[in-house]
A and B are shown apart, each in its own frame.
Chain A
């Protein structure tokens, strides 16, 4: 019994040692990656960002900075919108920390056009969280984050690392350092053939301007006064 315990103890020690080496490597790698990324949000204001004035989600969202994070809320009631970088990016690795209220449908836009056609990493809890979709465009191959439940921290900050490369894009997503999917599209899905575009964050619309015959509303798409938050937004452009 003692022997068994001793063996077990040694095994645990070995596992701990192995873990510490692994963790050390991961941290070192992480720091190097971090240093190669350039902040694209200054933590104080929205310099370098603008609101899409042609998105069907809305054109007047309540987007502001609070406690070092970009906050997206609807404004006025039922009107969401899209916040875009002023700059366009072609091939890049994007790092961003995300904290989202439940029952609010949004997303991270990749190579977005000015009116918000984009490859989109969905942000929705509950929902198709961290899946790859097209926003206002059909994409050839979606991405399914089947493992998201095992890494997701509800009502807390979660890190997203997204790599997008190629005119016919290959897109890879890691959430909290765990790979969710790696998708090589067979063609460039943008309708005007764009190979670069803006980084964007979306708040979904939930109500029309007025009750409309034959129309519907989506009060479940963004709960009243809900918010998505984004911080530590960094990008590394790839050759």
Chain B
């Protein structure tokens, strides 16, 4: 009876774990929760040739195997401790839907009637399932306006940086293990790749890392990580997730970058708000 009521009230789709809209975009429901954002505890070398907190030996590039001096060890430690930050708690208080994939060239074409992507057709072949790229944050706003119009709603928007990071981490507290980066992140190669070719994250989202940088809604604060409250104004917007020309160093959910990026490796994914339940 309850199910029937929900069906009749038209709310069911907003509670389902997945949803596909009229232009073929698939969404996954993300539930509420908490996470610590902006924790910075850089590993530093210690005299026994390892790095604090690490099990692998550090990679030394000190030419001819020159070791750190006692003074350098002490300086590294004091600088790392000086710059360390505990981070802050972020509460995701409203559930939301986020697209399973980056917006593809096919979806952009369907909504906008154009395809601005640098990597399309030609020698690469059919790129309809590659992410759209070469789109500015403002271009994306126009896409969202038209998508909302097509779907007769106002619920589509870019994710906030915290929504994006919460979805990308999928429950992870620490940084991504590099073995996992290799499995889930679309890195390497000379072009974008079709979406969804690597493994999804724990919540079923593809290409949160690699392939293309993804615009989020927030202005960029020109700091290594976000502030608890994003700037109200700014010149640039935040980019998350790194692109196929990134590497294991920055293809992590923590990386907090800013536009404009290279253009040809900058795209986005969409959030669909859930109506009050």
Residues of B within 8 A of A212 (CB): 174-178, 252
Instruction: Judge whether B6 is part of the interface by a CB distance below 8 angstroms.
Output: no
User: Digit string of A89-118 for contact with B (CB within 8 Å is 1, else 0)?
Assistant: 000000000000011010000000111010
Q: Chain B residues with Cβ under 8 A from A53's Cβ? A: 220, 222, 236, 239, 257-259, 261
State the CA gap A145–B119 with chains docked (Å). 36
What's the minimum C-beta distance from B36 to chain A, rounded to whole angstroms? Answer: 11
Question: Within the assembled complex, what's the spacing in Å between the Cα atoms of A54 and B261?
Answer: 6
Asked if A79 is an interface residue, CB under 8 A from chain B, the answer is yes
Q: Which residues of B contact A224 (CB under 8 A)?
A: 72, 75-76, 79
- Output the nearest chain B residue to A126 by Cβ-Cβ distance: B63
Select B52's contact among A60, A78, A103, A211, beta carbons within 8 Å: A211
B58 and A219 form a contact (CB under 8 A): yes
Could you say which of A117, A217, A223 contacts B51, with CB atoms under 8 Å apart? A217
Among A34-42, A150-158, A202-210, A228-236, the stretch in contact with B? A202-210
**Range of interface residues on A (Cβ < 8 Å):** 35 or more
Q: Digit string of B205-249 for contact with A (CB within 8 Å is 1, else 0)?
A: 000000001000000101110000000000010010011011111
Q: Are A220 and B247 in contact (CB under 8 A)?
A: no
B58 touches A76 (CB 8 A): no
Chain B residues with CB below 8 A from A211, complex form? 41, 43, 51-54, 175
In the assembled complex, the Cα of A81 lies from the Cα of B158 at a distance in Å of 28
Neighbouring A residues of B45 by C-beta, 8 Å = 217, 219
Q: What are the residues of chain A within 8 A of B258 when measuring CB–CB? A: 53-54, 59
The answer to whether A208 and B249 have CB atoms under 8 Å apart is yes
**A180 interfacial contact with B, CB 8 Å:** no
Question: Quick one: which of A76, A125, A126, A127 has the most chain B CB within 10 A?
Answer: A76
| Binary CB contact string for chain B from 29 to 45 against chain A (1 if under 8 A, 0 otherwise) | 00000000001111111
Are A223 and B72 closer than 8 Å at their CB atoms?
yes
In the complex, the answer to whether A191 meets B79 with C-beta atoms within 8 Å is no
The proximity string for B residues 60-86 relative to A, scoring 1 for CB distances below 8 Å and 0 otherwise, is 111110101000100110011011000
Contact of B58 with A209 in the complex, beta carbons under 8 Å:
no
Min CB–CB distance A165 → chain B (angstroms) = 23
Residues of A within 8 A of B59 (CB): 216-221
**A213 proximal to B (CB < 8 A):** yes
Please, which residue of chain A has its CB at the minimum distance from the CB of B174? A210
**A77–B262 contact, CB under 8 A?**
no
| Centre residue among B40, B177, B213 by max chain A CB count within 10 A | B40
A150 to chain B, nearest CB (A): 18
Q: How far is the CA of A115 from the CA of B246 in the complex (A)?
A: 9
Partner of B178, one of A57, A127, A214, A218: A214
Among A117, A127, A209, max chain B CB count under 10 A is at: A209
Task: Give the distance to chain A from B52, nearest Cβ to Cβ, in Å.
Answer: 7
**A56–B247 touching, CB < 8 Å:** yes
| Distance between Cα atoms of A79 and B72 in the complex (Å) | 17
Q: Could you list 24 A-B pairs, sorted by A, with CB under 8 Å? A: A53-B236, A54-B262, A56-B249, A59-B224, A60-B222, A75-B83, A76-B40, A103-B61, A115-B243, A115-B261, A117-B245, A124-B61, A126-B64, A192-B262, A210-B40, A210-B43, A210-B174, A211-B41, A212-B174, A213-B177, A215-B177, A215-B178, A219-B76, A220-B60
In the A-B complex, the 10 residue pairs with the closest CB atoms: A126-B63, A76-B83, A53-B258, A211-B53, A220-B61, A213-B177, A207-B42, A56-B250, A220-B60, A219-B45
For the complex with contacts A191-B191, A212-B175, 15 further pairs of A-B residues with Cβ separation under 8 Å are A53-B259, A54-B239, A56-B242, A56-B246, A102-B63, A124-B63, A136-B247, A209-B42, A210-B175, A211-B51, A216-B58, A217-B43, A217-B45, A217-B51, A220-B61
